[in-house]
Amino acid sequence: MKQVIISSLLVVGGFTGTDSPASPGSARARPTGLAMGPDGSVYISDSVTGRILKIALTGS
């Protein structure tokens, strides 16, 4: 298994989705969980909307 180290991860307030960065006042989602998949993708869960955001190694 490939080891990946995340040296810093900043989440301020929440996120609005995939269209644009969120300002604290416009955030519609609140991250509540973080996991890493076997391919190195990072998954962020949101208990407010019941969604999971996937961030691939490419940044998409």
Tokens of 48: 């407010």
pLDDT of residue 54: 85
> Which stretches within the chain are classed as H helix?
none
Instruction: Give the integer Cα–Cα distance in Å for 29 and 57.
Output: 22
Q: Is it the case that residue 4 has pLDDT exceeding 70?
A: no
Q: Give the confidence band of 12 by pLDDT, cuts at 50, 70, 90.
A: low
pLDDT digits (tens, 9 = 90+) for 13-59: 555 555 555 555 555 666 778 888 888 888 888 777 788 888 887 75
* Domain locations in the chain as residue ranges: 31-60
pLDDT of residue 37: 86
